[in-house]
Amino acid sequence: MGWGLVPRLGDNGAVRRDELRRRLDELYRQYDQHLLEPDPLQHVRAQPTAADREVVGLVAAGLAFGNVVQIKRGIGAVLAVLGPRPAEAVEVLEPREAARRLHGFRHRWLDGRDVACLLSFARQMRASHGSIESFFAEGLSDDDPDVGPALASFSQRALALDHGGLYGGRRLPARAGVRYFFPSPTGGSACKRLNLYLRWMVRRDGVDLGLWRRPAPRQLVLPLDTHTRAIARRLRFTRYRSPGWAMALDVTRRLRRFDPKDPVKYDFALYRLDQWTREDEIRSLGG
C-alpha cells in the first residue's frame, strides 16, 4: 500500500515535533470510517439508537481480543440473542435465560455464562443510573488528568453487582470469567478493551461515536494493543518495554503533545499504520 506520508529527516536524524504532528494529523484524516473493515466497531455503528450502541459497545469492546474473525463471530453470536433492539432486550433478559440462550458460546476462554453476566451487569448499571455512562461517571472527577481512577472505580463497582446466581453462591468467585471484562489500572493492566470502549463512546469525530459527555476526550488513555504497542516502540513514544498501564499512560502523554485536547484520536490511524505500512516508513517517522 502506498503511503506517501514519510517526512524528510533533519541532519540529526530527528523529525521536528511540528512536522511529526502534521504527519500524524494526515494519518488521522486518511484512516477514517471508510477503512473501518474489519473492526468490531462496525457492529456498534450499525445499531439503531444511542442506548443500543452503548450496550453493544460494551460487549464488542469486551470481546475485542484474539483474531478479527473470532471477534466478529463472537459479537455476532451475542447480537443474535439480543435481536434488533439490544438495549430493550437486556432490560428484560434474566441472567439464567441469557446463559441458556448463549449455551455453547465460546470466545477463547470465555463462555456463555460470562457474557450473560456481562449483560446482567449492563442491565443493573442502566437500572440504577439510567445509562452505563452515568454509572461510569460516578467514579470520575473532572480534575483527574486521565481516566485511570474512574476505570478502577468502574471495574470495582461493576464486579460488586449481583451475578444472579450464574456462578453459584452470593459472592463472585475469583476465577469468574466475567472479571476479564473489568480489569483495573491498579493491578497494572493497560485496560485496553475498556479504553477502547471509552474511545468509541467519548470521541466525537472520525470513526468514533461521541455518545457520552463524560469523560472529556483529553482524559482518555490509548487502548494499547499489540499493534499500537509495536508502533509506539518503533516511534520511540515510550521508554517502557512491558505492556501495562504505565506504558499506556506514557504513550498517551507523548500523543498529548500533538493534541492536548484529544490525544487518543490517533489510535485508529496508528493501529492501521502498523498493519499496512512498511518498516522503513515507520522508522522514518521516529525521532
Nearest to 129 by CA among 225, 51, 16, 22: 51
Which residues fall within 8 angstroms of residue 178, CB to CB, at 6 or more apart?
A: 114, 117, 118, 121, 159, 163, 172
Burial profile 154-186: b = 16 or more Cβ within 10 angstroms, e = fewer: bbebbbebebbebbeeeebeeebbbbebbbbbe
Identify the pLDDT of residue 30: 80
Which residues fall within 8 angstroms of residue 51, CB to CB, at 6 or more apart?
A: 87, 126, 131
Identify the pLDDT of residue 156: 98
E strand spans, the chain: 106-107, 110-111
d(CA 273, CA 269): 6
Identify the pLDDT of residue 29: 84
Identify the pLDDT of residue 46: 94
Identify the pLDDT of residue 283: 54
Identify the pLDDT of residue 2: 32
Kind of pairing between the strands at 110-111 and 106-107: antiparallel
d(CA 267, CA 273): 10
pLDDT in tens, the chain (287 residues): 333 333 433 334 345 678 878 888 888 888 766 666 778 999 999 999 999 999 999 999 999 999 889 999 999 999 999 999 999 999 999 999 999 999 999 999 999 999 999 999 999 999 999 999 999 999 999 999 999 999 999 999 999 999 999 999 889 999 999 999 999 999 999 999 999 999 999 999 878 999 999 999 999 999 998 888 888 888 889 999 899 999 999 999 999 999 999 999 999 878 766 554 545 555 555 54
Identify the pLDDT of residue 5: 39
